A = this chain, B = another copy of it.
Amino acid sequence: MKEIQGGCCAAKGFSASGVYAGVRKNPTKKDLALIYADCDCSVASLYTTNLVKAAPIYVTMRNLERGTARAIIANSGNANACAPGGEENALKICETLAQELGIKPDEIIINSTGVIGVPLPVDAITGTIPQLTRALSRYGSDDAASAIMTTDTVPKQVAVEIQVGGKTAHVGGIAKGSGMIHPNMATMLAFITTDVSITSEMLHKALLESNRITYNRISVDGDTSTNDMVAILASGLAQNPQIEWKDTDYRVFLEALNYVNGKLAKMIARDGEGATKLVSCLVKGASSEEAAEKLAMSVVSSSLVKAAMFGADANWGREICAMGYSKAPFKPELVDISFVSDGEAIAVCKDGAGLAFDEDTAKRILKRDEVQILVDVHDGAFEAEAYGCDLTYEYVRINGDYRT
């Protein structure tokens, strides 16, 4: 497996585009993205667990009942959630796009991201669709990745090349998300493409497996949005023998998918609203993977841990405290905690009690832009790592006045 350029257009059969449609006020910020497949694709998709789901989520759910898809369209600047006429507007966009591309309306995955409760300016979107389809390009991943950004500061894309069934194949994707990020894919969109030949059923299984250890292990602020979605299209153009069960080819594909999703998830965590650093927590020695995951997620989700990370304050009591309310089993008197960055580590807690440590060394480690909280609970053989970011003044500023 090697990382390559091309994002969501790295796989054979895909092109993409991103343009300004007028959903946002600022005309220099693209707000409408399209990914298009030359042929029928296997498809799988996962959605927000929020009881309140945006209208396009319901439209996509129904569209994907047929089991294949050809295109993904998404706008930023408006979530089309809790707004009048939401489903009608989403359907109207699908119809206009289908007509323009010569495909069927129910071959389209549609989503939106942005403010909740404001009617979608649907005419601005449908009126821009001809321009959007004309802009489709094998080099369009950058534009599509930019067009789905909201408070993101950088576009997020990644792609890899692999060998599957004797053929060269690719997995790539784009993602957005920097606030309202929490397990179960909170306000994040990830659109993945591959040219691997695989059934929709196996694609769904792979996406579930991969999602569990990637997007579901990041937290920015504990809020789970109404619009989250991760969708994957598989064109089959790599011409490998179709993956139909969990064989070696499946595992090769899954590994590539994990790499792409894992890297996008980490990009999302690092670009958390106002974040200055990527903070991860690796919990080792847990009695189960579930316990390790709960402990790690609880640590990276704690506002107090996140604020201390911003201040580069080695206040490890907050980590053990967050573990304590995670509801996961562990023995406090066996816990070791270190802070790790750039190959340098400092032990701050052993057997559940504080160690004397050099504050200057701790400060130096915690000031770097990537910090790992390493926890060993000495209670078993399982581990899990979760990703988040620090809590900063900037997070408060951004979210104190998001709409204006």
CB neighbors of B among A107-159 (8 A): 115-119
Interface string of A294-305 (1 = CB under 8 A from B): 000000011110
Q: Assess whether B116 is in contact with A324, with CB atoms less than 8 Å apart.
A: no
Chain B contacts for A404, CB-based, 8 A: 313
Known: A51-B332, A52-B332. A321 touches B400 (CB 8 A): no
Chain B contacts for A313, CB-based, 8 A: 400-404
Q: Which of A117, A186, A301, A403 is the most central at the interface, judged by chain B CB atoms within 10 Å of its CB?
A: A117
A81 at the interface (CB under 8 A from B): yes
A165 at the interface (CB under 8 A from B): no
A324: which of B50, B323, B392, B396 is its contact (CB, 8 Å)?
A: B50
A203 at the interface (CB under 8 A from B): no
Q: Which of A221, A307, A353 is the most central at the interface, judged by chain B CB atoms within 10 Å of its CB?
A: A307
Known: A83-B353, A307-B399, A396-B391. A52 touches B115 (CB 8 A): no
CB neighbors of B among A49-85 (8 A): 49-53, 79, 81-84
The stretch from A15-23, A193-201, A222-230 touching chain B is A222-230
A320 at the interface (CB under 8 A from B): yes
Q: Assess whether B403 is in contact with A222, with CB atoms less than 8 Å apart.
A: no
A245 at the interface (CB under 8 A from B): no
Chain B contacts for A401, CB-based, 8 A: 308, 311, 313
Report the minimal beta-carbon distance from A81 to chain B, rounded to whole angstroms. Answer: 7
Q: How far is the CA of A222 from the CA of B225 in the complex (A)?
A: 18
Q: Assess whether A354 is in contact with B222, with CB atoms less than 8 Å apart.
A: no
Q: Assess whether B400 is in contact with A307, with CB atoms less than 8 Å apart.
A: yes
Q: How far is the CA of A326 from the CA of B224 in the complex (A)?
A: 10
Known: A226-B321, A321-B50, A354-B83. A349 touches B310 (CB 8 A): no
Q: How far is the CA of A400 from the CA of B390 in the complex (A)?
A: 10
Q: Assess whether B115 is in contact with A317, with CB atoms less than 8 Å apart.
A: yes
Chain B contacts for A398, CB-based, 8 A: 307
Chain B contacts for A118, CB-based, 8 A: 354
CB neighbors of B among A207-238 (8 A): 221-226
Q: How far is the CA of A51 from the CA of B333 in the complex (A)?
A: 11
A24 at the interface (CB under 8 A from B): no
Chain B contacts for A354, CB-based, 8 A: 82-84, 117-119
A395 at the interface (CB under 8 A from B): yes
A327 to B, closest residue via Cβ: B51
Q: Assess whether B84 is in contact with A353, with CB atoms less than 8 Å apart.
A: yes
Q: Assess whether B400 is in contact with A353, with CB atoms less than 8 Å apart.
A: no
A179 at the interface (CB under 8 A from B): yes
A393: which of B303, B318, B352, B393 is its contact (CB, 8 Å)?
A: B393
Would you list 23 pairs from A and B whose C-beta atoms are within 8 A, ordered by A residue? Answer: A50-B321, A50-B325, A51-B330, A82-B317, A82-B353, A83-B353, A115-B317, A116-B316, A116-B318, A116-B320, A119-B354, A222-B301, A223-B302, A223-B321, A224-B325, A304-B399, A307-B396, A307-B399, A308-B402, A311-B401, A313-B403, A315-B403, A391-B399
* 5 interchain residue pairs of minimum CB distance: A116-B317, A311-B400, A52-B324, A307-B399, A117-B354
